[in-house]
Structure 1
Amino acid sequence: MVNKDDEQSQKYIATQGPLDRTVVDFWRMVWQEKACAIVMLTKLQEDLRIKCSQYWPSRGSEDYGPFTVTLQKETTSNSFIIRELTLHYNTMMGNLRSKIVNPTGRIDPNKKEYYSSAQSTLLITHYQFIDWLEYGPQPPINSLVKFNKIISNQTEHKKGPIVVHCSTGGGRTGAFIGMSCSIKDALTESIIDIPAVVTIMREQRMMMIQTLDQYMLVHEAVLEQALCGDTQIVACDLQNTISSLSSSDNASVTGFEAQFNVLEQVSVPPQDAVCDVARQHPRKNRYQEILPTDQWRVHLKSESPDYINAVFIPSYKNDKGFIIAQSPLRETRRDFWKMIFDREITTIVMLSPIMEGEEEACAQYWPKEGTIEFGEFTISVREEWGHQSFSRKLLLIRNNKNNMLRRLAHFQVDGWSNDDITSCNEGAIINTMNLVKTLQRKSPNSPILMHCSNMIGRSAVFCAAMATVDQMKSSSVVDVFQTVKNMRVNLPGAVQNKGQYKMIHTLAAAYVNLFSTSANF
């Protein structure tokens, strides 16, 4: 049991990840202590090594000695999974345990006649963070802080301790508990004393926080909370919050301006993006100061060089759910189609016209009629539909090397100027979003490709608005600040100004107002 000095503070139970032979003991402890939640900070397997036995069912119910665990619901996001479990204790089963269980601790299916009808039930929420390896890079701090906030909000008024485990029950477990306690101190007290928190934990369980990186992570998480604050909005309050954030305080700064100013402070500036290969191929970049990051850039398969100015962007449930690319140049059109074919893209969203004023904003990469070839790829237009302020096409792409043929939907939003992105046809954008979401249900594992002239304006706004709508649908809350902050890790400079930042909120609200009763919401 790990907790601070005051008896009113939230108690934690730090433990190792269950082994096959200790799963029943684990559930017995959860039942005995009447735990309200379980926080799991490891995957079942990491680097081909078993880190923890699966102690819950993948679906339905499973028996562990005298306990029956039922999976009621499972919700997945980029960095974590939340499961709603029920734990049933079959009271007579405990007395008959030696007669009816096999060596693994599970009930022998041939001895179900001993199953007792006398039951008690415990409701438990299981939180699993899946983006933190024991031997790997530091997890994304904002995701970990968000994970902690969800747990804190949902367990605030619940009785019983929170069970926390990784594989060993020391390193990641200690870092998480230390972070959670320190953030709580930051919100409720004027003094934060992380060394004291760690000392208290280590007096109660040895080896809590094992490395300098884990100790630094606690500090960085507290700093993240202090700088960024609480930017989450309950979905039903979105419209009222937009009005509130649009008003100025005594310093004549609106809430949106204040949030965006913080966003600028905590984000890596575009000029600091590290992508050596991009700088080696300046002719492939429309703007030399807007480049992808090495970690998240899209690689062209079996190519040398493998560079294209495109980057993976996280959707709400997939860290590679979107691809944002610069609109192709004349000399990069073949690379553009190579990327589409490599990544099995089925939806393209074009957010800039071919010409903007006197400048070419996008090279024509599909035929006006008939077919057109770019390297080994032949492109044709199968069908075309006109809508108010946007158009839709069915394109066919054939790889002449292997004669493979693929279909994809192409959307083009009209009249969205790069000079004033916030002056747009809102209806065209949200109707395009709705059609894209409808088509994407047929190929959920394929990234959605969106492009504009500079990547960080129209494409970033459209992408963030889609992710925000998905978050709202999944969890009934939105956090545009964190959505954009996450996006900027992959694409520095994404969402260029306060107006675009506010626009993401208004697009999400407009989408909900129009489509809240549709299948896409």
Structure 2
Amino acid sequence: RYFISPLHTIILQHGLQFNFYTDDTQIYFSTQEMSLLTSSSLIFMQRMAVKPPVERPEPRHSSRINSVSSQLSDGPIPSPSGRTSTSSWSEEPAHSNMDISTGHMILSYMEDHLKNKNRLEKEWEALCAYQAEPNTCSIGQRDSNAKKNRVSTVIPYDHSRICLKVENSQGNSDYINASPIMDHDPRNPAYIATQGPLPSTVADFWQMVWESGCVVIVMLTPLTESGVKQCYHYWPDEGSNLYHIYEVNLVSEHVWCEDFLVRSFYLKNMQTNESRTVTQFHYHTWLNQHTPETNQALLDFRRKVNKCYRGRSCPIIVHCSDGAGRTGTYILIDMVLNKMAKGAKEIDIAATLEHLRDQRPGMVQTKEQFEFALTAVAEEVNAILKVLPQ
């Protein structure tokens, strides 16, 4: 592999434009993609310098944060990994419109819950007893659709599911195990929560990516855990693969740290010849029914996702294995922090989780995941408050 440092835009003679996600660091290209960038086809290239091939460094292990008190302390926040070349901890707080009084109120709320285990237990029990209405899932349970579900316990509600265009579907069906997740705008979803694709649903997945206008995918699972398949490998390792009428070309791959990496794809509709760039952020160390090893790594991951997504109006597609536990935890954290960054005066995290469960069953599956969400929000709020004018 070659690497090219810092890169913004490449335009080729046949009109294809390369827009790469960068953060002033390296981007990796396969030899096949490098062959596209020849002197005969290149019109414009900004800030590029080709260097010899390099070996990827081996990942190093980090220790888990020891206590909530250390997370909420006034001490400096360390980098999530020594391999992350550019720390982004100051990116989001610098642009936050968070209300200071709301921030302090949230911190107080979090500290109380995290210290009072009995109160946290009771709140989780109340959340477990919550029943969404309506909650029928009859469409996903049909014989023709049941085989498209990774698990039988997480099936989209009939009233809240993504419908594919039948005329473009490989199986002449509109069904995919995916749910639109609304935030402040009831007309346009902020997210699409979905399961990790199965071998038989990869074409449906890329159809959903195309039809939703998605440009950012958040993947929160390794492909396998202890030999158990969690998600099908739905992208090419090199070159391109064709999934029904959607051609996916791997353009670049960059390992940010031991916890996550970033891939860039060109997605082309072979019927219309239209194409666009899709960026996948893959957090691969978060195991099923568990929480990430550190808050900081996931918060850094989230900041990079949102930096890439900034200015877009399409939904972010978020998936783990079943599209509920890790997916729900990530969306809960992101939704609460986005509300605060926009200056919301009142934040009710339990009510926000109920709002998510109204749209997809099983969102946030364990008390530990809920507690992790509280701790992550508290840590980010604490970081934001430090840079806001008092």
After TM superposition, the score normalised by the length of structure 1 is: 0.51
Choose the corresponding residue for 1:279, options 126, 132, 142: 142
State the match for 2:199 in structure 1: 330
Q: From 369, 376, 382, give the equivalent of 1:507.
A: 376
% identity of equivalent residues: 26
Query: Higher helix share goes to which structure?
Result: 1
Instruction: Tell me the distance in 2 between the aligned counterparts of 1:339 and 1:485.
Output: 25
8 Å CA contact 2:140, 2:156 repeated in 1: no
- Alignment check: 8 A CA contact 1:378 1:398 kept: yes
CA shift, 1:279, in A, is: 3.0
Shift of 1:515: 5.0
2:135 counterpart of 1:267: no
The residue type paired with residue 485 of structure 1 is E
Q: How does 1:17-416 map to 2 (within 5 A)?
A: 234-248=102-116, 254-268=118-132, 273-280=136-143, 281-302=145-166, 303=169, 304-317=172-185, 320-388=189-257, 389-416=259-286
Alpha carbons of 1:260 and 1:423: their partners in 2 closer, same or farther (altered >3 Å)? same
The residue type paired with residue 279 of structure 1 is: R
Cα 1:477/1:461, change in 2 over 3 Å: same
CA root-mean-square deviation = 2.3
Aligned CA distance change for structure 1 residues 406 and 516 (closer, same or farther; 3 Å): farther
User: Is the contact between residue 329 and residue 369 of structure 2 (CA under 8 Å) also seen in structure 1?
Assistant: yes
CA distance in 2, matches of 1:362, 1:341: 20
Q: What's the CA shift for 1:477? A: 3.6
Q: CA distance change for structure 1 residues 246 and 518 in 2, over 3 Å: closer, same or farther?
A: closer
State the Cα distance separating 1:305 from its structure 2 match: 1.4
The superposition leaves residues 375-405 of structure 1 with CA deviations (integer Å, 9 ceiling, x where unpaired) of 1111111122211121111111111111111
**1:330 Cα offset (Å):** 0.6
Q: Secondary structure at the match of 1:324?
A: strand
> In 1, Cα distance between the equivalents of 2:306 and 2:162?
22
How far, CA to CA, are the matches of 1:263 and 1:242 in structure 2?
A: 17
Name the CA distance, whole Å, in 2 between partners of 1:451 and 1:431: 18
Q: Displacement of 1:244 after TM fit?
A: 1.3
Alignment counterpart, residue 462 of structure 1, candidates 303, 306, 330: 330
| Counterpart AA for 2:331 | C
**2:309 aligned with 1:478:** no
Assess, with a 3 A threshold, how the Cα gap between structure 1 residues 374 and 287 changes in structure 2: closer, same or farther: same
| Equivalent residue pairs, number | 280
Q: Equivalents in 1 of 2:354, 2:173: separation in Å?
A: 30
Aligned mates of 1:242, 1:260 — CA distance in 2: 14
Q: State which of 329, 344, 358 in structure 2 corresponds to 1:489.
A: 358
Shift of 1:273: 3.9
Asked if residue 453 in structure 1 is aligned to residue 316 in structure 2, the reply is no
Question: Partner of 2:279: helix, strand, or coil?
Answer: strand
Hey, what's the Cα distance between the residues in 2 that align with 1:322 and 1:258? 29
1:472 CA displacement: 1.2
* Whole-angstrom distance in 2 between the partners of 1:301 and 1:432: 32
SS of the aligned residue for 1:398 comes to strand
AA in 2 matched with 1:300: L
Instruction: Tell me the CA shift for residue 409 of structure 1.
Output: 1.1
2:245 and 2:271 in contact (8 A); partners too: yes
CA distance in 2, matches of 1:411, 1:449: 10
1:414-465 CA-to-partner distances (Å, cap 9, x unmatched) read 210114x22433222111211222222231x200001011111100000010
For 2:386 and 2:241, how far apart are their aligned partners in 1? 41
CA distance in 1, matches of 2:211, 2:356: 23
Shift, 1:518, TM fit: 8.0
Q: Give me the whole-angstrom Cα distance separating, in 2, the residues matched to 1:377 and 1:317.
A: 29
How far the C-alpha of 1:257 sits from its partner, in A, is 1.5
How far apart, in 1, do the equivalents of 2:385 and 2:149 lie? 40
Deviations 1:291-336 (A, max 9, x none): 0001110011134310000001123455611100000001100000
**How much has 1:476 moved relative to structure 2?**
4.2
CA distance in 2 between partners of 1:464 and 1:511 (Å) = 13
Given residue 139 of structure 2, which amino acid in structure 1 is its aligned partner? D
Q: Measure the CA separation in 2 of the matches of 1:313 and 1:395.
A: 24
CA distance in 2, matches of 1:446, 1:518: 30
Change in 2 beyond 3 A, CA 1:239/1:517: closer
Q: Judging changes above 3 Å, is the alpha-carbon distance between structure 1 residues 385 and 326 closer, same or farther for their aligned structure 2 residues?
A: same
- Amino acid in the other structure paired with 1:276: I
| Deviation, structure 1 residue 514 | 3.8
Q: Secondary structure at the match of 2:147?
A: helix
Alignment-mate amino acid for residue 264 of structure 2: L
Is the CA contact 1:267–1:492 (under 8 Å) kept in the aligned structure 2? no
2:320 maps to amino acid: C
Structure 1 unpaired stretches of 5+: 1-232
- The 1:360/1:277 distance shift into structure 2, 3 A limit, reads closer
Give the direction of change, closer, same or farther, for the CA distance of 1:294–1:269 in structure 2 (3 Å limit).
closer
Any conservation in 1 of the 2:295–2:375 contact (CA below 8 Å)? no
Aligned partners of 2:180 and 2:193 also within 8 Å: yes
Partner of 1:418: 288
Do the aligned partners of 2:140 and 2:155 also contact (CA within 8 Å) in 1? no
Between 1:319-328 and 1:255-264, the stretch displaced more is 255-264
Whole-angstrom CA distance in 1 between matches of 2:383 and 2:184? 21
SS at match of 1:298: coil
Higher relative contact order (CA 8 A, sep 6+): 2
Counterpart of 1:297 in structure 2: which amino acid?
R
Greater Cα radius of gyration, structure 1 or 2: 1
Q: Deviations over 1:329-370 (max 9, x none)?
A: 011000000000000101000000111111111111111111
